[in-house]
Structure 1
Amino acid sequence: MREIAWIKDTLPIEPWQIGGPVIKGFGRGSKVLGIPTVITDVEPWLLHDFDADFYGEELHLIIVGYIRPEANFPSLESLIEKIHEDRTIAEEALDLPMYSKFKDDPYL
């Protein structure tokens, strides 16, 4: 049985690509949580800060790792705190060679 390695609090997965137009959702991520998200089959958090909205534009993502499963939180504040922890984990993991090699992928 192959052992699964945890890399910087993430579980590497077989990379897969998703893409499509950016559409306006309910605004819960940015309005309620202060965290812009993209609604897809996986809900990625865009780590880059953009100067303007880009609704209608084509967005390409490569999913390369998994941080944690969905969970219920006792308060909005605890959810926001966990999401910010996730961001730190993602930013640190994306600097590792296992993940950083995808930064220049032609799909993006």
Structure 2
Amino acid sequence: MTPKGLPHFAAGTIIKGFGRGSKQLGIPTANFSEEVVNKLPESISTGIYFGWAKILGNIHKMVISIGWNPYYKNERKSMETHIMHKFDGNLYDNELKIGIVGYLRPEKNFETLEALIAAINEDIANADKLLDEEQYAKYKNDAFFK
């Protein structure tokens, strides 16, 4: 079942985030500005979602964390997108378009960095499988990405 408010499409320029994705987690993320985060509908609660991301003319699978990242005790809400593709260099200042099509789990805190990394890797594996299902795969061809 797709949660209320989905699919949700958003676009914006990739900004420098907290600098943790690649360095501490080994899982790089593309971050949106507060302006994009503030446009999220109230029906989309914090949590881990999955969908499609268009960057540099190509569409890739993605997982996105929406919220406060309790492990890091963020003071402002963020949208951190992990694009399931290996890029050379950084993606700052490029336009990112996303389609959030499904929900994986609520946001939660972790006892250790290792537990957080394991959960993120599980989220990525789950999203990878789910995005092959027709109900989610069809959004890769949505007019929003054209």
- Answer yes or no: same fold by TM over 0.5: yes
Q: Quote the residue 2:21 is aligned against.
A: 29
- Largest Rg, 1 or 2: 1
Q: Distance in 2 between matches of 1:89 and 1:60?
A: 21
Evaluate the alpha carbon distance shift between residue 91 and residue 27 of structure 1 in structure 2; reply closer, same or farther with a 3 A threshold: same
* Residue 89 (str. 1) matches residue 126 (str. 2): yes
| Stretch of structure 1 that moved more, 36-45 or 70-79 | 36-45
* Residue 46 (str. 1) matches residue 38 (str. 2): no
AA aligned opposite 1:38: A
Q: What TM-score results when the alignment is normalised by the length of structure 1?
A: 0.82
Higher RCO, Cα 8 Å, sep 6+: 1
* Residue 102 (str. 1) matches residue 139 (str. 2): yes
Deviations 1:23-52 (A, max 9, x none): 112211111101111234333321121123
Deviations 1:73-105 (A, max 9, x none): 111001100100000000000000010001122
Match of 1:63 among 94, 100, 120: 100
- Please provide the CA RMSD for this pair: 1.4
Q: State the number of aligned residues.
A: 98
AA aligned opposite 2:118: E
Structure 1 runs of 4+ with >3 Å offset: none
Q: Is the 2:11–2:95 contact (alpha carbons within 8 Å) kept by the matching residues of 1?
A: yes
Q: Is the 2:30–2:91 contact (alpha carbons within 8 Å) kept by the matching residues of 1?
A: no
Q: Distance in 1 between matches of 2:137 and 2:88?
A: 24
Structure 1 or 2: larger strand share?
2
**Which runs of no fewer than 5 residues in structure 1 stay unpaired?**
6-11
